Structure 1
Amino acid sequence: MKEGFKVPHTLILLLSMMLVAYLATWLVPQGFFETVTLDNGRQAVVPGTYALAQAQTHLTPMDFLVAIPRAFAAAQDVIFFVFIVGGVLSIARATGTIDALIGRLLERFGHKPNILIFMVVFCFALASGAIGTAGEYIPFVLILVGLCKAMRLDAMTAVGMVVAGYGIGYGVSAFNPFTVMVAQKVADIPVYSGIELRLAIFLPFVLIGFHHVWSYAKKVQANPELSLTKGLPCPLAGSAEANYPALNKRHQMILFGLVAAIVTAVWGISQKGWYLYELGAVFISWGIFTTLIGQIGADRAANEFIEGVKDLASTAILIGVARGIALIMEDGQILHTLVYAMSSPLSHLGAELAAVGMFIMQTLLNLFIPSGSGQAYVTMPLMAPVGDIIGVYRQVAVLAYQFGDGFSNMIIPTNAVLMGIIGMAGVPYHLWFRFCLPLFGKLMLAASVVLVLAVTFGYGEDVQPKVEETAQTQAK
């Protein structure tokens, strides 16, 4: 009897995608748009300037191999943030705080998992939509995994709550400074204009995410054999019958320190432009605070930190290799060619279909440009004038960009934050893809309907630049 097909390890899948990207650099012509430097120092492409490179050069096999360690260097901020979070959480667990917190949450939500799931999806979506949080969710993953296991759920449910909130928050954000603000500035429309529609669709999209995760969770709770992660080792595995320690004053002080760290991180992101290096420093401070309050001793804290880092070594490798896919395409100088090839057919479609086409294009390009703001600087200078020609207002083009960037964050393996979250929970990428694909399809369908209606009812007409203003902006 022949053995059935076995899905390769996630590392093999990512290396295979790197190889495909490498081969594409030999098959796709190299070309460029001219770029201009904006006031903030970022580079934006100039529409109508695409041209093939005069000399077509190709990456060598050595370039492919060198791209792997270079990718680790490019993703170092995420990798070391994950290491720091894993190590610090290991210290916190050694004090009994994590187990005590899980026990307390079980008392509150043990018989109401639907409320817990909705609250997590809603709150994470709200935070992502408001201030663009993403990697900041990684510290919550292990806590939610332990809580879900104790509620007879699984790690997939925990990851589903986190990632659904994260992706939906970015996709329907009302005022995310890293996506909405950047895209509207590049499209030359007032910042935060059109907020009414984005606020109106926030809750319906959150409910789509909640329904998907809760439907799966109910099946697993009724029959654990239906769990997609059945048989896999799971961090912080527990049961509802376990004897969790009481949440004492010392635990409460440590949790207060965590809340203070998160508040400080949010303040730093919104007011000081902090990101993962600074956030790592904040969590190191919490780790020191936890060691002192928990009274576990410096040597034990050091050992626990190292053990926590060890547990996430495989996650760090996946994050680094995932970054290599985009790096290969950047080195091969074919990214602008792909953008040009995808955007050109849009001018031949009707306005409604073109808006959906913009959405699909942004979704595909997020695989190669996983940075939300980076994608805005590359694509919005092209989408805005294309929309002017075919009758898609720039506000709709920005919405299509948001949907494409945000929702695909939940499923593309080049997203370092996603790989960090599923790696922290011990969920292989192919199983996550199987869980997330139906949700992604539902969100794609709902977003397409919103875009068609937005075009039909003239969303963004009130802020559409006049033809003369557009010409002057392009001339500059």
Structure 2
Amino acid sequence: MGQNMKVPHTLVLLLGMMVVALVATWITPQGFFDTATTDSGRQMVLAGTYQLTEDRVLLTPWDLLKAIPRAFAAAQDVIFFVLIVGGVLSIARATGTVDALIGRLLEKHGDKPQKLIFMVVFCFALASSAIGTAGEYIPFVLILVALCKAMKLDAMTAVGMIIAGYGIGYGVSAFNPFTVLIAQQIADIPVYSGIWLRLAIFLPFVLIGFHHVWSYTKRVQANPELSMLKDCPCPLNGQAQQNYPALNKRHQTVLLSFIVTLVIAVWGIATLHWYLYELGGLFVAWGIVISIIGKLSADDAANKFIEGVSDLVTTAILIGVARGIALILEDGQILHTIVNGLSTPLSYVTAEVSAVGMLFIQTLLNMFIPSGSGQAYVTMPLMVPVGDLVGVPRQVAVLAYQFGDGFSNMIVPTNAVLMGIIGMAGVPYTHWFKFCLPLMAKLMLTASVVLVLAVMFGYGLDVQPQL
């Protein structure tokens, strides 16, 4: 039966989840928490204020259909960033720089893929931990896919490196302004306090991610038939080649301009609060610069840009539809009901069990609230009083939120960045889920142990507000 079972297309799975969400709005009690507006203008829920709504909303299949274009509008920043990056990278490839870079990396690391995998996982995790990078990794997807193909590896290895680094970096973040800073502010504890533990667990968690990706890579190297993607077409459409050009001065100038672009992006994110619109504009500028450096005619550059955009239309559609699931839950007034139903049982268990329960609740809720900062504003005002009630220090509650939000970013299909990365790499979601689930299990088990020990040893009691 397993041989004949056809795995549905990722788009079919996402549409199916939208239908399930619609049905859930018909049978689930509808209600809301009261909210207050923070100094930053975000809506934060108020603990203990949940109540059922007097006027139920009945969503119809027509509302579901309308939610799809609305979801595209809601996810437009990620969609257009992905399309722009795809187009600009197509220009970069036309200059020969990408192939020359791959050839150079093959010379240095072709026989040591484990070193390359560790470097990528570590660097991406470090960037996510420090400044909350996520969508910024999208430009690297096709480059790493091409590199892995040249090393006789599959696209799953490339995606594994990127997403393991991204998810683990968010999960054990030391400084991430979109998660740690916001959650600690809501919990009313000093910003960036407790950093010593987050720094101490960074490398062990990175090693878990590296080991998972490398173990898969070794199996595929030994027997290519074990590749999870052996029946999937490569997104490069045969563009990868065996004879790579030498890395000449022009290629080096293009690479230098790429590094300068990334430095400007990091500076903009850190100091000017840039996000995807600004980063998209920056990559358009880089595309113009490398067209000039690469001596491409305006028509050639335009054609290459459109080719790159065309290759990512499927990815853009998946990102848009993925956003529709949360939209249905919000329209149907059951998002707060789900949060309330999951958080209430925590007040009846011990502190250690409650801390682990917070981890699993945050993990589940990331399916419905894929924004890290958005999840903090909805869940932390509820988890903090529950923790105070059962003896979970607020610092531990923040850590549970980080673990749950960060690690589940790697697997929830409502995460637009995840869908963008696997879509660019040509990895079906079902195949990625099968690859990622064991990694999630390892990370969740380790995170649970860390949380239990954190409660036992009173992590965060030094900054716990006196009530």
> Under TM normalisation by the shorter chain, which class is it?
over 0.9
Quote the residue 1:311 is aligned against: 311
Report the alpha carbon displacement of residue 235 of structure 1 after superposing the two structures with TM. 3.0
Quote the residue 2:145 is aligned against: 145
Quote the residue 1:242 is aligned against: 242
* Amino acid in the other structure paired with 1:213: V
8 Å CA contact 2:146, 2:240 repeated in 1:
no
8 Å CA contact 2:190, 2:463 repeated in 1:
yes
Distance 1:249 1:415 in 2: 39
Check if 1:451 corresponds to 2:451: yes
8 Å CA contact 1:351, 1:455 repeated in 2:
yes
Quote the residue 2:436 is aligned against: 436
8 Å CA contact 1:149, 1:238 repeated in 2:
no
Quote the residue 2:112 is aligned against: 112
8 Å CA contact 2:21, 2:329 repeated in 1:
yes
Distance 1:305 1:155 in 2: 23
Quote the residue 2:193 is aligned against: 193
* Amino acid in the other structure paired with 1:90: S
Check if 1:289 corresponds to 2:263: no
8 Å CA contact 2:100, 2:246 repeated in 1:
yes
- Written as runs of structure 1 = structure 2, the 5 A alignment for 1:317-332 is 317-332=317-332
Distance 1:218 1:155 in 2: 14
- Percent identity between matched residues is 75
Quote the residue 2:179 is aligned against: 179
Secondary structure of the equivalent of 2:367? coil
Deviations 1:244-282 (A, max 9, x none): 001111111111111111111110001000000000011
8 Å CA contact 2:57, 2:333 repeated in 1:
no
Distance 2:182 2:385 in 1: 17
TM-score, length-scaled by structure 1? 0.97
Quote the residue 1:255 is aligned against: 255
Distance 2:240 2:115 in 1: 17
8 Å CA contact 1:168, 1:205 repeated in 2:
yes
Quote the residue 1:356 is aligned against: 356
Distance 1:8 1:395 in 2: 42
- Written as runs of structure 1 = structure 2, the 5 A alignment for 1:67-106 is 67-106=67-106
Query: Alpha carbon RMSD of aligned pairs, Å?
Result: 1.3
Secondary structure of the equivalent of 1:152? coil
Report the alpha carbon displacement of residue 2 of structure 1 after superposing the two structures with TM. 10
8 Å CA contact 1:146, 1:237 repeated in 2:
no
8 Å CA contact 1:151, 1:240 repeated in 2:
no
Secondary structure of the equivalent of 1:8? coil
Report the alpha carbon displacement of residue 131 of structure 1 after superposing the two structures with TM. 0.1
Distance 1:289 1:271 in 2: 24
Quote the residue 1:367 is aligned against: 367
Secondary structure of the equivalent of 2:193? coil
Distance 2:25 2:262 in 1: 42
Distance 2:406 2:238 in 1: 33
Distance 2:135 2:107 in 1: 28
Gaps in structure 1 of 5+ consecutive residues: 468-476
Report the alpha carbon displacement of residue 236 of structure 1 after superposing the two structures with TM. 3.6
TM-score, length-scaled by structure 2? 0.98
Report the alpha carbon displacement of residue 451 of structure 1 after superposing the two structures with TM. 0.3
8 Å CA contact 1:154, 1:227 repeated in 2:
yes
Distance 1:93 1:57 in 2: 51
Check if 1:226 corresponds to 2:226: yes
Secondary structure of the equivalent of 1:104? helix
Distance 1:234 1:57 in 2: 45
Distance 1:11 1:76 in 2: 18
Secondary structure of the equivalent of 1:57? coil
Distance 1:253 1:226 in 2: 40
Distance 2:360 2:449 in 1: 13
Deviations 1:63-115 (A, max 9, x none): 11100000000000000000000000001111111100100010111011010
Distance 1:299 1:55 in 2: 57
* Amino acid in the other structure paired with 2:206: V
Report the alpha carbon displacement of residue 3 of structure 1 after superposing the two structures with TM. 7.0
Distance 2:84 2:444 in 1: 35
1:423–1:271 Cα change, 3 Å? same
